[in-house]
């Protein structure tokens, strides 16, 4: 396998430093040649080149995109990346980027995107596919297990950093069973972390189902051996998992180290989560009200008009109540005739006094009693016997 050759073109030498730092993170052997202008790069191109990374502003003779067009004409197999600085045009729209023979990246750089494109250029893959990777189908998320328990990310980062150092891995990613990436440490930019997480989710969810079969607090370690990258998958309880990434030539040699240091890191992370690492809270399903099935209504038929007979009521007229008799007032009232004596203003008060009224009542009673027969009188005249 030939060592890739990179040429950086930048009068400020900034791109040379960026590329060298990225290559150190990737830990890949390359040959890097740094030149300040367009004339030097065309001379170096004659010796062969895998990838050219040029600044948007080069010199008065040529712009970066003009150099890219000329390089693609003279060396079609050479990949070209043009990097813009502050004040330079922004990134292309998707249609322009897909039709361009080079990839344009503006600064400040998206580190993940830059590392993906850089890795693709070194390996001879399509730069545009690395720039805009095709999204994987959305993973099937088991929402019946309830919410994902919380995790102290600061404490988790210390554990992962220690594991990264112990294993000498390229990168480590901590994700959840819902596809969310919580932490990424190391040189992960050249590898699409979302795609990797989505691709590994089915294996994680399958492990959850296996727990019911094998019993206990199950943990698993899975290995994916690739030509470019090797990936170890370690489950952290039922809700989290780790992706440990190695170079494609080193991963197969790390089984022992991953089993030793990786499992210890998993136990430390589970301790941070607590009992919820293996606790499943099923989603409560709301009870639906029973639906009332109604019979389909029959089509309405024309109804015959019903004529009601006219009711005859024999009502007896109600005679009105007799009105109260109102007598005419006595114009010439003579109290002497009523009371049998002369009534004047002086004795009017005595006439209507309580004593006088009582006297009149007694007199009237005695008159009414005359002619009545009592028991004593009836014995005297012989009507009753002794």
Q: Measured in whole angstroms, how far is the alpha carbon of residue 149 from the centre of its chain?
A: 16
**Higher-scoring residue by pLDDT: 129, 334:** 129
Instruction: Indicate the range of 70-79, 84-93, 106-115, 164-173 predicted with least confidence.
Output: 84-93
Q: Tell me what the mean pLDDT of segment 361-385 comes to.
A: 61
Tokens of 163: 């594991």
- The matching CATH number, chosen from 3.40.50.720, 3.40.30.10, 3.40.50.2300, 2.40.50.100, for 5-131 is 3.40.50.2300
Domain boundaries, the chain: 5-131, 143-278, 335-380
Q: What is the pTM of this model?
A: 0.49
Tokens of 228: 């470019």
Q: What is the mean pLDDT of the chain?
A: 78
Tokens of 117: 């494109």
The Cα 80–Cα 326 span in angstroms is: 128
**Higher-scoring residue by pLDDT: 361, 202:** 202
| Same-fold call for 5-131 versus 143-278 | no
pLDDT of residue 194: 77
Cis peptide, bond prior to residue 108, ω within 30 of zero: yes
Residues in the chain: 386
Tokens of 169: 């891995």
The Cα 362–Cα 288 span in angstroms is: 93
| Percent of the chain residues past pLDDT 90, beyond the cut | 24
Q: Tell me what the mean pLDDT of segment 162-172 comes to.
A: 91
The Cα 47–Cα 317 span in angstroms is: 132
Coil, strand or helix at 198: helix
Ramachandran region, residue 77 (left: φ > 0; alpha: ψ -120 to 50; beta: rest): alpha
Coil, strand or helix at 367: helix
Q: Outline where DSSP puts E strands in 177-276.
A: 181-186, 221-225, 229-236, 240-247
Give the CATH superfamily of 143-278: Dynein light chain 2a, cytoplasmic (3.30.450.30)
Interval 168-213: pLDDT, tens: 898 899 999 888 889 888 876 656 777 888 888 888 887 776 766 7
Cβ atoms of 86 and 57 closer than 8 Å: no
pLDDT of residue 297: 57
């Amino acid at each position: 396998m030939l060592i890739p050759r990179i040429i950086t073109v930048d009068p400020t030498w900034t791109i040379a430093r960026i590329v060298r730092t990225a290559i150190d993170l990737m830990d890949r052997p390359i040959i890097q040649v740094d030149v300040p202008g367009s004339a030097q790069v065309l001379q170096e191109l004659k010796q062969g080149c895998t990838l050219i990374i040029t600044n948007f502003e080069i010199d008065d003779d040529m712009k970066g995109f003009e150099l890219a067009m000329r390089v693609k004409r003279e060396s079609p197999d050479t990949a070209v990346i043009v990097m813009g600085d502050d004040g330079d045009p922004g990134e292309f729209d998707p249609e322009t980027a897909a039709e361009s023979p080079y990839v344009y990246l503006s600064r400040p750089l998206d580190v993940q995107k830059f590392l993906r494109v850089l890795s693709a250029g070194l390996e001879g893959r399509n730069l545009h596919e690395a720039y805009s990777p095709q999204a994987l189908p959305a993973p099937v998320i088991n929402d019946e297990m309830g919410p994902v328990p919380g995790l102290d990310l600061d404490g988790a980062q210390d554990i992962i950093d220690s594991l990264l150092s112990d294993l000498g891995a390229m990168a480590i990613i901590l994700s959840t069973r819902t596809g969310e990436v919580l932490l990424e440490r190391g040189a992960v930019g050249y590898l699409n972390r979302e795609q990797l997480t989505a691709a590994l989710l089915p294996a994680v969810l399958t492990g959850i189902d296996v727990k019911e079969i094998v019993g206990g607090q199950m943990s698993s370690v899975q290995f994916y051996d690739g030509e470019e990258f090797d990936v170890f998958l370690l489950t952290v309880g039922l809700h989290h998992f780790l992706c440990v990434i190695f170079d494609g030539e080193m991963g197969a040699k790390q089984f022992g180290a991953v089993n030793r240091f990786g499992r210890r890191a998993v136990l430390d992370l589970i301790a941070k989560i607590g009992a919820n690492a293996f606790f499943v809270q099923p989603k409560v399903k709301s009870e639906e009200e029973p639906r009332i099935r109604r019979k389909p209504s029959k089509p309405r038929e024309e109804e015959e008009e019903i004529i009601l007979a006219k009711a005859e009521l024999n009502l007896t007229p109600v005679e009105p109540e007799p009105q109260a008799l109102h007598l005419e007032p006595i114009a010439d009232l003579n109290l002497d005739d009523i009371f049998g004596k002369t009534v004047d203003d002086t004795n009017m008060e005595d006439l209507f006094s309580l004593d006088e009224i009582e006297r009149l009542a007694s007199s009237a009673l005695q008159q009414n009693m005359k002619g009545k027969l009592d028991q004593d009188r009836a014995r005297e005249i012989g009507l009753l016997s002794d």
